[in-house]
Each structure stands twice: as structure tokens, then as C-alpha cells.
Amino acid sequence: MSTVTAEELRERVRAFLAEHDPAVEDRLDFLRARFDAGLAWVHYPVGLGGLAAPRQLQQVVDAELEAAGAPDNDPQRIGIGLGMAAPTILKFGHDEQRRRYLRPLWTGEEVWCQLFSEPGAGSDLAALSTRAVRDGDEWVLDGQKVWTSLAHTARFAILVARTDPGLPKHKGLTYFLCDMTDPGVEVRPLRQITGEAEFNEVFLTGVRIPDSQRLGEVGQGWQVAMGTLMNERVAIGGSNTARESGMIGVVADQWRQHPELRTPGLHDRLLRLWVEAEATRLTGLRLRQQLAVGSPGPEGSAVKLAFARLNQQISGFELELLGEAGLTYDDWTFRRPDTTDFTSRSAGYRYLRAKGNSIEGGTSEVLRNIIAERILGLPAEPRTDKDVPWKELPR
């Protein structure tokens, strides 16, 4: 770990800005130069967008660049790449993979998606049936993935497939990096309750993936996937946000602007939701501080669980607060959005979209099991299929 100080980092950023003026330099050229200067992820290794500095110093870099009017890398649009693919590639990838993928991932030149869930393997990811069969220096993949955000815009995907059906379901998996432009990859939209097709189903038919795009060892797919999912839950529920931001901020603003909507009962409920939202925000902040000295653990599951429950409760409260006006919904238009927007859309959209928060990134039921077993130390649920070869399991 580098011993660079916050002041030394500020000086490095100012020197960078003196050479790369964001007011005149092309946006993409600026982002590439920032990555090469080690100012993308300061905690990443030198040469891979970082300076091997403490993670918490990233806020020093971001503040200096924001004050100078520098462009960002549109983190919402590339959130899966930043929050899930990048840390997984850094931990499990070899040097060539890190050099190839991390820079265009961070600059937003290549969008990433996640090919994990399947129609028969959602909450039980280890039951997935997409097959990968070795053919020389390539793997041939056949199967179907579902609930895939950004598949319609992604260049690459992180993917888990079954390479040995003769082993128990957790042991016969391997992790790949899939080029979404390869022959045999078909993306179809899934229209959801909001009227949009934010998600997709992806069909893989004879897709050939070079062994050089395998991440981790053959059969190590479950361990690599768990690293991805722990990072995902932190990315979803543990983001670094300001007080009264997100959905609780929207509802609090409506409360202040419309005194005619207030009742004593609603006032009590709003206060309780505000306190819970602030407690969850601070817990997420503490979790990010813990990440500065280690890898994400099961604590991210607790924050993500709280995030989902709060979003659903706050969006339901908002509809009650608005009364008849909350029942209108004018967003029923087929769109293929690149991001999920909870703050600038209608109350009806927020209410409907929040229903997915308890499914995406790990269902709330699965997260409760993780919390019970891995944080509280409670006895695990009986798993009769744990040591049975996958090919012998009923499906």
C-alpha cells in the first residue's frame, strides 16, 4: 500500500489538471489520461488506474476534479462494470486480462452486463444449467440467462456456466468474460411492470469463448461469482450518499411543499422512515470505510436488504401522501433505459420499480439466510442437494 498523503494527492491532481484542461480537452481523452495517471481508482495498483493508495483518498481526488469542472465517467450507465466486473477482474484475473479490460471499462468505452440468473436458477444460482464444453482452446456455451440489465447496450458480460455436471452444483461451475457481439448471443427485451424493458433475457447458442477469457480456474466459478455478488450488494445498498438523498429526500420535499397533505399519522410515519433511511445511509458509509481495509463480506447483504425494504416502504408512503394524485401513472411507455432513475420520475414509477429491489442483487429471502448463517452464526438450513452431482438433481 502506498504511503501517499491527501495533500500529496491534491498536488498530483492539480499537476494533472495543469496538463489536461477539462474545459478544452476531449472528454474521452481526459478520462483515459486520468486513468493512466492513477486517478481513476486510487486504491487499484499502479498501471491499472490507481496508485495503490488507501481507498478513502478517492474522495480527495473526486473533490478536486469536481471543483475543476472535470467530466465524470457516467457511473450510473456503467455501474455493473464499476461495481461488479472491475473488482472481480482485479482479484481473479491475470495481468493480461486486467490490462485489456479495466481501462475501457472505467472510461465507459465498454459497457458490461451480468449473465448469472436463469429461468430455473434465480435465487439458487448454483443450480444454473447453461453448459460450457471445452473444445481445444475454446469453450462452447449453450443456455439462457434472464433479468439481465444493460444486455442491450453491453459489449461484455461476466458469465457463470456449468463445466462439469458430474460434480455437486457448487463445484462444477466456471466463470467467463463473454463478448456480447459474438455469434450466437441473442438479446431479447423483457417488459416489466413499469412498462419499460430495463431488463433482458439472453440466449446463448453455440457461443465460442476463448479460454483466455476464462476468469479464475476451471471449477472455481462459484468462488469467483461470490466475490462478484458481495461487491454488487455493496454497490446497490452501500453507496456514498448525502443526508436526505434518494427517495426519502423526494418524499420529504413533497411534505414541505404541500402542507395540505399532512396528517398527524403520516407525520409520525415519515419521521420513522427518515430516521431509518439515515441509519441505513450511515451503515452503508461505515461499510464502505470497512472496505478500505479489506474485501466485502456478508455485511453488504444486510445493507442491501435494508435498502430494498426502505425503498418499498417509502414509495408506498409517497402514494398515500399524494392521495388520488398518486394513483395516476403516465410513464407506461416502452423504453430501453440505460439506468434506473428513482428521483426524477413520477411517484407511480417509483412505487412500481421499487418492487424489484427485493429481487435484484440477491432476493431478500436469500440475504436473510446469509445474515443468519454468516453474521449471526445461526444453524444453516438443511441442504439435501449439497453433495449430490448436479446431473442427478431433479429439475
Is 201 one of the catalytic residues? no
Amino acid, single-letter form, for residue 243: R
Q: Given the C-alpha cell 426502505, which residue does it identify?
A: 310
Cα(60)–Cα(30) distance, integer angstroms: 18
CB 56 within 8 A of CB 1: no
Label residue 346 exposed, middle or buried (CB < 10 Å: 0-12, 13-18, 19+). middle
Residue count (the chain): 395
CA Rg value for the chain: 22
Residue 55: phi, psi to the nearest 5? -55, -35
The torsion angle over the Cα atoms of residues 127, 128, 129 and 134, rounded to 10 degrees, is -110
What CA–CA distance (Å, rounded) separates 155 from 85?
A: 12
C-alpha cell at 54: 488507501
Count of other CB atoms within 10 angstroms of residue 330 = 8
Which pairing describes strands 112-115 and 156-162: parallel, antiparallel, or unpaired? parallel
- Measured over the CA atoms of residue 12, residue 18, residue 22 and residue 23, the dihedral's sign is positive
Active-site annotation holder among 64, 118, 198, 232:
232
Distances (CA, A) of 41 to 11, 214, 258: 17, 24, 43
What is d(CA 310, CA 318) in angstroms, rounded to the nearest whole number? 12
Nearest residue to 232 (alpha-carbon basis) of 357, 139, 382: 357
Distances (CA, A) of 21 to 13, 31, 38: 11, 12, 17
> Concatenated DSSP letters for 88-99?
HHHHHS-HHHHH
Q: CA-based diameter of the chain, in Å?
A: 71
CB distance 367 to 302 below 8 Å: yes
Quote the CA–CA distance of 146 and 119 in Å, as a whole number. 6
Q: How does strand 156-162 pair with strand 138-145? A: unpaired
Q: Which residues are catalytic?
A: 232
